[in-house]
A and B are shown apart, each in its own frame.
Chain A
Amino acid sequence: MQPNNSSQAPAWRRTIALGTVLLAAALPGAVEAQKHTPVTDAMLLSASKEPNNWLMAGRDYSGTRFSPLATVTPKNVKRLVPVYSFSLGTLDAQNTTPLVVDGVMYVTASHGKIYALDAKTGKEYWQYSHPLPDNIGKMMCCDVGNRGAAVYGDKVFYATPDAHVIALKRETGEKVWDVTIGDWTKAQTMTVAPLVVKGKVVVGMSGAEYPTRLWIDALDSETGAQVWRRYTIPGPGEPGFDTWGDQDPEASAYGGGSTWITGSYDPDLDILYWSTGNPNPDWDGMGRIGDNLYTNSTLGLNPDDGSIKFHYQYTPWDVWDFDGVNETILADVGGKKVWLHGDRNGFLYKIDRTNGKFIWAKEISKVNWATGFTPEGRPIIAKDKVPTYDHKAMNVCPASEGGKWWNPMSYNPNASIVVIPSREICADILAGKSERVEGKYNLGIAEADWIKGHGQLVGMDPVTGEKKWQVIAPSPFTSGVLTTAGGLAFAGTPEGEFKAFDLKSGEELWSYQTGSGIVGSPISFAIDGKQYIAVPSGWGGWTGWATWGGKGGAPHLKNMRKGGTVYVFALFDR
């Protein structure tokens, strides 16, 4: 399959091709063309204050997923109706967060596709399809998804499953550059939404369910040339190398440490925050006894050279596949500059973002693998919850997907609340002897029985960590969360329901059936003064919690229909 650019050139582009400025100015399409103003550093830096666009995956450098738009409110949300739907043309996990720049939506799809469309009408401007190797699926633990794009200057950037990072012209979809940064045959794959910081396209890697050593790359936005690479696992002689034990001399060289969730950036401190995932093998820790730095951590990085300023590790010596890769939301709370991080290990963390020091961790869901924290923020492990080859750890809470799964939460500074997609599910786990072969799964698990539980959406106070409200659902909330200045939280379910909740009480106010499970993230944007809400729908990804077997998490989901559609909503106009 070859890249398929520009299925239908929009009117304004054909007009410009004529080179007749006068004619262009006379046509409606030309007005749209003028909207393709370059995305500047200033625009990215002030993204949180600009209400109409959605310029990066987390909406702003703090990753809040908070929209200042307030037209849609708890009082009128029942009038929310679909304006259009846009087919993504593929099935499997639609993990994306769409972007909107001056009325143009850029949205990635599973299987290496990206589209530009009129965000008001759904009319396609162009599409680009990256040809994938036939066997890429088996090199991706958790589906052939993609989490979104980034925009800067006149380009849009996205990563592909086979570890290409591609820059396209925003206006036409034409390829500007295409660089390969990993070897997909060794499971060095990509699903991340890039983040542009100071002219560099920063991206992370997937693949820690296979034996490999992963990294964060910064690429020159003009050329794709590598500016720096930060391996997340130290090499020999580097600080932290001695945290991999001496049982297996090659443990760290194949130790995983993926980076597939987009980071955040504090321009005042000039620190890039990027989180890292689980060590490999996931559940078999016998060959890597130690903290396994810098897995399951958030790294505070110098964005100019990728050097590590500090780190905080959520789960040292992870033998539960808790991962730690989830997002960091930068917030100024109670007079402190902090980051908030909801982890798969079940805790919401508040960390001082000037130095990486622990402030507190509070339970999002039931936690029993740790009994507390030292004053320095190191978890105190419950020994009977550690799975080994001959000890099946029973009723470990949470199961490996949380707590909070990867889907991003939202921080609403107006309401001082963080809304977390979550679940209450535990598991029985027996570790298994791992077998390291490059390009092959290496999970180190003998038995895993998920125990039936339920889903929940949790509103927590970022000052105290107390729960403000909790919505219980039959299955986990698997979408990202959007909160708005209008006083609403939006989230989606595996059953395909896209829902709005009152931010004050958690009361469900509105729901729409999208036809397939929601595993992407909603956004809000405005065009001509009208507020829109968009959400991708399309079931996929890893769902051990739901159906992996044993006692089952939510087995009613195992035949959930696949799909691939972006729905866009607005208030009904009489």
Chain B
Amino acid sequence: MYRTVSILALLLIAGPSGAEPLTNPLSPEPAIVAEGKKLYNRTGCLACHGNNARGAVGPDLTDDEWMRAPSDEMVFNTIKNGRSGTAMSGFAGDLTDEQIWTIITWLRDENRKRKEAVK
């Protein structure tokens, strides 16, 4: 199942540019979510964004209050290419596209949990 999703992800990523906005091809299965958290920690994201991505000197990645609406494409591009002029580097050389989507899957799951917690 995971492999199928991965292939789908790669097809989506490799698809024609400028057409449909990028969307996360991965589903929030527990294994993918757990892998996302692991990748987040290993990559050092926690140094700026905090242990649970709830923000430190870098912004909270688990709420809905990014600079703009946090679309999948925006989050993906920010992780992949960074934000020029800030401390946010691009991680294109460190993470594969699939790994970036895996991290995003975990972040989305954290966002979901937060929303459920306040219901």
A549 touches B44 (CB 8 A): no
Q: What per-residue 1/0 map shows which CB atoms of A101-144 lie under 8 Å from chain B?
A: 00000000001000000000000000000000011111111111
| Residue of B42, B52, B85, B94 touching A111 (CB-CB under 8 A) | B85
A541 touches B82 (CB 8 A): no
We find that the number of chain A residues with CB closer than 8 angstroms to chain B is: 37
A548 to chain B, nearest CB (A): 4
Q: What per-residue 1/0 map shows which CB atoms of A198-229 lie under 8 Å from chain B?
A: 00000000000100000000000000000000
A448 touches B51 (CB 8 A): yes
B residues 83-113 in Cβ contact with A at 8 Å: 84-91, 93-94
Within 8 Å of chain A (Cβ to Cβ): is B31?
no
Which of B5-13, B19-27, B53-61, B68-76 lies at the interface with chain A? B53-61
Within 8 Å of chain B (Cβ to Cβ): is A543?
yes
A542 touches B55 (CB 8 A): no
Question: Does more than half of chain A's interface fall in helix, strand or loop, or is it mixed?
Answer: loop
Q: Nearest chain-B residue to A543 (Cβ)?
A: B56
B55 touches A137 (CB 8 A): no
Q: Which residues of A contact B44 (CB under 8 A)?
A: 138, 141, 209, 440-441, 443
With A134-B82, A209-B47 as given contacts, are A559 and B55 in contact (CB-CB < 8 Å)? yes
B87 touches A540 (CB 8 A): yes
CA distance A135 to B93 in the complex (A): 10
Q: Which residues of B contact A142 (CB under 8 A)?
A: 47
A543 to chain B, nearest CB (A): 5
Q: Nearest chain-B residue to A542 (Cβ)?
A: B47
A542 touches B90 (CB 8 A): no
Q: Which residues of B contact A141 (CB under 8 A)?
A: 44, 47
A547 touches B84 (CB 8 A): no
Question: Does more than half of chain B's interface fall in helix, strand or loop, or is it mixed?
Answer: loop
Within 8 Å of chain A (Cβ to Cβ): is B50?
yes
Within 8 Å of chain A (Cβ to Cβ): is B46?
yes
Most buried by A among B50, B85, B93: B50
B86 to chain A, nearest CB (A): 7
Q: Which residues of A contact B46 (CB under 8 A)?
A: 548
| Residue of A91, A144, A548 touching B56 (CB-CB under 8 A) | A548
Q: Nearest chain-A residue to B60 (Cβ)?
A: A558
With A137-B89, A141-B44, A440-B44 as given contacts, are A548 and B84 in contact (CB-CB < 8 Å)? no
Q: Which residues of B contact A144 (CB under 8 A)?
A: 87
Most buried by A among B48, B90, B91, B93: B48
With A134-B84, A441-B43, A558-B56 as given contacts, are A549 and B90 in contact (CB-CB < 8 Å)? no
Q: Which residues of B contact A523 (CB under 8 A)?
A: none
Within 8 Å of chain B (Cβ to Cβ): is A183?
no
A143 to chain B, nearest CB (A): 6
B86 touches A435 (CB 8 A): no
CA distance A9 to B91 in the complex (A): 40
A108 to chain B, nearest CB (A): 16
Within 8 Å of chain B (Cβ to Cβ): is A546?
yes
Q: What per-residue 1/0 map shows which CB atoms of A70-97 lie under 8 Å from chain B?
A: 0000000000000000000001110000
B84 touches A435 (CB 8 A): no
B47 to chain A, nearest CB (A): 5
CA distance A93 to B86 in the complex (A): 11
B12 to chain A, nearest CB (A): 25
CA distance A558 to B46 in the complex (A): 13
Within 8 Å of chain B (Cβ to Cβ): is A377?
no
B interface residues, Cβ below 8 angstroms from A: 41-44, 46-48, 50-52, 54-57, 59-60, 82, 84-91, 93-94
